[in-house]
Amino acid sequence: MDDTLRILIPKGRIFDKVAQLFSDAGYPLSLTDRAYRPLLGAAGLTGKIMKPQNVGELLELGSHDAGFTGLDWITESRAQVVQIMDLGFDTVRIVAAVPAGMDDAELRSKRLTVATEYVHLAEDWLQKSGFSYRILRTYGATEVFPPDDADMIIDNTASGRTLKENGLRITGTLLESSTRFAASPAALSNPAKKRRIEELGMLFKAVLDARERVMLEMNVSKALFPDLVRCLPSMRSPTVAPLHGGDGYALKIAVPKSEVPEMIPRLKTLGATDIVEYGLRKVVL
């Protein structure tokens, strides 16, 4: 049995983040111009570039073993896949938006033409909300349809700025989405492939956790050590080693990046010296 892991890599805006994730995990990904078969720097891994809209269904079919796509497209395609982890990339909301001058009473008084790429998501939400509607399927640039060609759009947005620039206001949120690492149920029934997918998930999580933390190293005298060590945050407990000559201790801690600007002055006040900050590549908890 061929245990090669066949991975779908998303085309478009998510590609660079996924490629960097592989690289940081230790598997450099390279792609020549106009190619659809990237090279992954590990034996037993093959890749193929596909639009994120297609990833879920292809995983369900079992023609590929794992891949990356947004929760929005998994939900829209109704694909039966196993979500291994939320990578947190490309966070967007799927929203309904209408021309800014259209009030809610007008929305309820007519049969709406709703432009969207998300046909299934739109159907579910419009029916649940009690609208009378007709769906017009789009293939990109959905925000330009109103007011001439549609009364409402259902589309993804990160900040809402593009909608506002096109004279639209948000009337409802259907879904909050981000990039998921997902697997085929068929692949997970193969013990060797399941183990490889879980190992990739562990490495990806280690990379993402490391991006949120830095390592701090410092020295402190014996006299000041008890007060300082009580104030140290850490994933488990700080690493402590005696300094040469027995005059104090060297400490090492991994801390959230967001806490560092306040932490370093506090450590200095508590008597820490020779404070050094550096980045981490992977953190396995």
What pLDDT does 81 receive? 97
What pLDDT does 231 receive? 80
Same domain, 115 and 154: yes
130: helix, strand or coil: coil
31-74 per-position pLDDT tens digit: 776 678 888 878 889 999 999 999 999 999 999 999 999 999 99
What pLDDT does 13 receive? 82
**Cβ neighbours, 10 Å, residue 72:** 25
Could you tell me if 153 and 102 are in contact, meaning their C-beta atoms sit under 8 angstroms apart? no
Same domain, 129 and 268: no
Banded model confidence at residue 285, pLDDT cuts 50, 70, 90: confident
Instruction: Please identify which residue in the block is written with the tokens 């027995």.
Output: 246
Alpha-carbon Rg of the chain, whole angstroms? 25
Same domain, 24 and 125: no
Domain end point (choices 177, 199, 221): 177
The yes-or-no verdict on residue 135 having pLDDT over 90 is yes
Same domain, 76 and 188: yes
Cis peptide before 261, with omega less than 30 degrees from 0? no
Domain total of the chain: 3
Same domain, 81 and 185: yes
Chain Cα centroid distance, residue 196: 20
Residue 276 phi, psi dihedral angles, 5° rounding: -125, 135
Two tokens, residue 149: 């060609």
What pLDDT does 40 receive? 83
Any idea what the CATH number is for the domain that residue 165 is in? 3.40.190.10
The yes-or-no verdict on residue 20 having pLDDT over 80 is yes
> Dmax of the chain from CA atoms?
84
What pLDDT does 214 receive? 94
What pLDDT does 232 receive? 79
pTM to 2 decimal places: 0.87
Q: Give the mean pLDDT of 177-205.
A: 96
Nearest to 131 by CA among 174, 92, 176: 174
Same domain, 108 and 219: no
Any idea what the CATH number is for the domain that residue 241 is in? 3.30.70.120
Chain Cα centroid distance, residue 85: 9
Nearest to 279 by CA among 227, 235, 214, 216: 214
Q: Beta-strand (E) ranges in 222-285?
A: 239-242, 248-256, 273-279
SS3 string of 222-239? CCCHHHHHHCCCCCCCCE
> For residue 96, what are the CA distances in angstroms to 102, 171, 208, 263?
13, 6, 32, 43
Instruction: Report yes or no on 285 lying in a domain.
Output: no
Same domain, 204 and 242: no
Provide the residue range defining the domain that includes 58. 5-89+178-210
Nearest to 65 by CA among 177, 192, 178, 202: 192
Strands 39-40, 239-242: pairing is: unpaired
Could you tell me if 275 and 215 are in contact, meaning their C-beta atoms sit under 8 angstroms apart? no
Q: In what order do the strands lie in the sheet with 112-116?
A: 133-137, 112-116, 152-157, 92-99, 168-177
